[in-house]
Each structure stands twice: as C-alpha cells, then as structure tokens.
Amino acid sequence: MRTPDAGSAVADAHRREWAGVLAATVRVTRDLDLAEECVQEAYAQALVAWRDGVPARPGAWLTTAARRRALDHHRHAAVAQRALPLLVVDEVAPEPVGPPPDDLLALLFTCCHPSLTAEARVALTLRLLGGLSTPEIARAFLVSEPTMAARLTRAKKKIATAGVPFRVPAPEELPRRLGGVLAVVHLVLTTGHTAPTGATLVRDDLLDRAHDLARLLRSRFPDDPDVAGLLALVLLTDARRATRTDTGGALVLLADQDRSRWDAAMIAEGRSLVLGALTSRPVGRYAVLAAIAAVHADAPTFDDTDWPEIVGLYDVVLARWPSPVVALNRAVAVGFADGPDAGLAALDALAGEPRLAGYGYLAAARGELLRRAGRREEARTALEEAALLTANDVEHELLAGRLETLR
C-alpha cells in the first residue's frame, strides 16, 4: 500500500505536470490514445516508485517513464499497425529530461484545430491538457458519459485521419488559428469559474489550467494584444476566487465579498495588461471583457462600482461581438446603473431569444430584479423557474434561500 506522501505527490504531479508529460510523449508515439496510455502507466509506476522518495523533478521523471513506455510499445509490430494513421510530427529527440514549451503549445493547437467542432475542441483540451476524466468532462457538458466518450474518440480519429500536424502553426497561419485557441481557453475559464453542475461552485482544476494555458500563450506570443487581453481576463476574474464561497462552501455574492482578500498581485498584473491591450487597434473582445472585470476590481466597495462604465463597455462588446449572454449581463448592469425597472425592460427585450430558452441565469436575473423592485410574487415565480433550471448545487442553495425569504 502506498504511503500518503507518495499518493499526494502523484496527485500534485497530475495537477501540475499532466499536460507537459503528455505533450512530450505524443512526440514519440505520434498517437494520442497511445500517449495517454503511456502517461497513465507512468503515473501508476510513480505510485510505487515514489514510496522511497519523490524525485526532485517529478515532471522530468514522469516524462522519461512515459516516453520509455512508448518506445517499448513501438518495438512491437502490432502497435505500428494499430497506430496508423499517425500524427505528423517533427523528428523525435533522444531521451529528453522534460517537455519543451512548444510541445505544450503544439498539443493545444492540435486540440483546437479548426477541423473539429467547438464542443470537440473544448472537450479534447480538457481531456488532454487538463487531465480530466471522461465522466468529469461529461458532467461539465451536461451529457452522458458514453456520449462524451464517443465525442472524444471521434475527435482523436479526425485529428489522425486528417493529418493534423503536431506543431505550433507557422506565422502565416496564426491569425486564423490563434482565435480558436483563445476561445477554448476562455471557455475553460468560464466553466471553471462557475461549474455548470456538481456540488462545488468553482472548479479549481479548470481555473488553474486556464491560468496555465493563458500564461503559456503569453510567453509564446508576448506582443499579441488578444493574448494579453485573455490573460488579463483570467487574472482579474480569478483574483476573486477565494471570496466567492464561505467556509461552508455556500455562494457569496459579489456585493458581499471581502474585497481585502482579493488577490492584489493578480489584479495589478491584470490591470497593467488591460491598459496595454486597450491601446491596440482594433480593440479585442477579451480586452474589453477584462476592462469590465477591472472596473469591478477598482471599486473599493460594491456600492462604489461604476455601473454606467460597465454598461458602456458591454455596449462595445454587443456592437462588435453580439451575444445573448452578453446582452443578459448588460441588462443586469443596467439594473444597477439605472434601477431595477430599467433592468427589467432590458431583460424583457431578450424574452424571445431562443438561445436563452432554458438558461437558468435569465430567470435568476429576472427574479432578482423583480425582488429589488418589490414585486415579490413575480420574483418568486421567476426564482422557482431558475431553481428548476440550475444544476449546480451551490447556486441552487442560494436560490432556495432567496425563495425562503420571499415566502
């Protein structure tokens, strides 16, 4: 039986090193499934080998073990048949001590290839770079485990059969490829910030992965304003993580959060990145979204929030990148800037939007504005609808508490 030290070290290495170890192993296997298998075997081997002590560089140890497994597999002719068609990769370097940074980027761009659907890109990124299990990803997407397993399998096969290259795109390809990668990282951020389902509000593993990926992109593309805007958005959003739930795991609304516990270093870095990204022309979507987060971060108290500024920034987003969810967020901001009746009027304009049908936040926002307007019976009806549409336990408990006060 493994010691607790070995088990916790392997778990920590899974959180920190999975993506890098897998990326380095793909370069040997040229096959995503085989690479995953070899990396999983390396982690299983570590559970035993690390009983006598954790290596100084766990990632390098795991990378070496996984790549040796891969080379052992390749010595058998049957594997060569099974692995075709193969990913197109550069020549394999002999026995590395750790994954080069471009291997991580190559894996990220492979997962986000435009030949895949948007859903497949996010799911594959969560699986291969986030290290999430198929059941975990299925829960995040609100689909069954067999459905998600089939989706992942199809995505991997499409990558192999389409001859998707395992590399960072050439400079002339980047303009049409980088946007898709940034969109996937943004979706990882939003999914981690508020989990669609489950017993916790925040998915720390997804937030950490979004942070790592945004940092990785920033290190590779330091002059790209969209990358800077995305990293700023990640930092300014994640700076509030520790205050979004209380010690019992219950949701703490923005108005009630202890702002002295927000991460000042992350806010300062995010604010600096925003200022730089906003000077580019045209201004990117992530820079404007990060600017909204910066307005919240700059307010010493909730009552000091510059809501008219936030409404104006949402107007910019809607004008250039229209989205019903952004329109919903703008309506909520209008409710704080101009009062609940104005917010309700903005929400009423979205009542016929088919993409918001069944979207719990629409009903929740309406219920809160009705409550603030003193229309208690209507508020209760809206919040009851929101509770029916909410799959996250923490958010559901908050709605139940709101309903209890209305009763």
pLDDT in tens, 46-68: 999 999 899 999 999 999 999 99
For 100-159, the pLDDT digits (tens) are 568 889 999 999 998 899 889 989 998 998 888 888 788 767 678 999 999 999 999 999
Of 373, 401, 375, 374, give the one whose Cα is nearest residue 387: 401
30 phi-psi bin (left φ>0, alpha ψ -120 to 50, beta other): left
Check pLDDT > 50 for residue 29: yes
**201 and 392 Cβ atoms separated by less than 8 Å:** yes
What are phi and psi for residue 89, nearest 5 degrees? -130, 170
Q: What's the confidence (pLDDT) of residue 15?
A: 82
C-alpha Rg value of the chain to the nearest Å:
23
State yes or no: cis peptide before 101, omega within 30 of 0: no
Q: What's the confidence (pLDDT) of residue 209?
A: 85
Q: What's the confidence (pLDDT) of residue 98?
A: 44
Q: What's the confidence (pLDDT) of residue 96?
A: 41
**114 and 177 Cβ atoms separated by less than 8 Å:** yes
Q: Once rounded to an integer, what is the mean pLDDT over residues 365-371?
A: 97
Q: What's the confidence (pLDDT) of residue 89?
A: 61
Portion of the chain with pLDDT greater than 90, in percent: 67
129 burial level (CB within 10 Å; 0-12, 13-18, 19+): buried
Question: Which residues, including other chains, have CB under 8 Å from residue 304's CB and lie 6 or more apart?
Answer: none
What are phi and psi for residue 266, nearest 5 degrees? -65, -40
1 pLDDT band, cuts 50/70/90, is very low
Of 165, 157, 164, give the one whose Cα is nearest residue 84: 157
- Which pTM was predicted? 0.83
85 pLDDT band, cuts 50/70/90, is low
Check pLDDT > 80 for residue 391: yes
Q: Once rounded to an integer, what is the mean pLDDT over residues 334-342?
A: 98
Q: What's the confidence (pLDDT) of residue 91?
A: 46
| pLDDT, the chain, mean | 90
Q: What's the confidence (pLDDT) of residue 87?
A: 65
For 219-256, the pLDDT digits (tens) are 999 999 999 999 999 999 999 999 999 999 999 999 99
Spell out the alpha helix ranges (H) of 203-257.
Answer: 204-220, 225-238
Q: What's the confidence (pLDDT) of residue 148?
A: 92
Q: Give CA 217 to chain center in angstroms.
A: 14
Quick one: tokens of 219? 């290190």
As beta bridge partners, residue 392 has 198
Q: DSSP code of 93?
A: P
